[in-house]
Amino acid sequence: MHYIAHRLHLAEKDAANEVQYFKEYEATCKELYSYFNGSYKRMINLKIIQETNDDLQLTILNIISTRWLLLSNIVSNLYQILDSIIDALNFDRMNANNQRDRN
């Protein structure tokens, strides 16, 4: 079974590397992970927004190239909390604009 899973993962990676959309999607997933996990304040704000939106308390997962088929879990989590992610990004953008206006 291990060998089959490994071969399937390699085939999936080869196929994904041929499609520009998948490359961009993977890059976006990595950027979202870095953005929220790079700041405790942003991560906590996302959790608060998830609670307010009655979203599941899921985390944004990191893409690790050696984890077979983990991308489906990453996409599933993002899809389930997408509204909260968008709300958190909008909140950060509004706060950044307010900070600029004060200076």
- Reading the block at residue 96, the tokens are 């950044």
pLDDT at 85: 96
Closest CA to 60 of 90, 92, 28: 28
**Range(s) of the domain holding residue 27:** 2-102
Q: Total domain count for the chain?
A: 1
pLDDT at 17: 74
Q: Please count the other Cβ atoms lying within 10 Å of the Cβ belonging to residue 88.
A: 22
Q: What's the predicted TM-score (pTM) here?
A: 0.75
